[in-house]
Amino acid sequence: MNIKSKTQKIIKALVLVFALALFGSCEVDKDIKDGIPAVAQIKQLRQGNKKITYGLTEYYQVIIDADIVTKDGKTWPVTFKEMAQMIDIPKIQPGQNVAVKYDPKDSTNICFDRSPERAKELLNQ
């Protein structure tokens, strides 16, 4: 490997570190480690002000107004932000149900539940 190639790799790595520090690595793959599964009943969807590109994949920030419904029937309104691919936006329109997780210490901290098995289980109840 020549010097130019090594330098380019170092520059790419530094740009990635800077981008993660600036935008936060949790934006696209946001997760709540001990999150409790629930369903978000989408009421309204608005465009946010961020767009992130990873390779060829573009993610757009969406602001979601929803009612969160737990397995035991508790419900509360919430507004949360998520990053979504363009292809996923039709799945999160008003009237749709989406699998989410919420923080048991802060029920307004919501993220999409990206576990396909749990999402299928929750949405089929």
According to the model, what pLDDT value does residue 113 have? Answer: 86
Q: What is the pLDDT along the chain (125 residues), one digit of tens a residue?
A: 567 666 666 665 445 444 444 444 345 667 788 899 999 999 999 999 999 888 888 999 999 999 999 999 999 999 999 999 989 889 899 999 999 999 999 999 999 887 766 656 655 65
Closest CA to 26 of 64, 83, 99: 83
Give the max Cα distance, the chain.
62
Helix (H), strand (E) at residue 21: helix 3-23
Q: How far apart are CA 67 and CA 108, in angstroms?
A: 11
Rounded to two decimals, the pTM is: 0.69
Cβ-based neighbours of 77, under 8 Å, separated by 6 or more: 43, 65, 66, 67, 68
Closest CA to 62 of 42, 77, 76: 42
Alpha carbon of 99 to those of 2, 57, 91: distances in Å?
A: 48, 22, 11
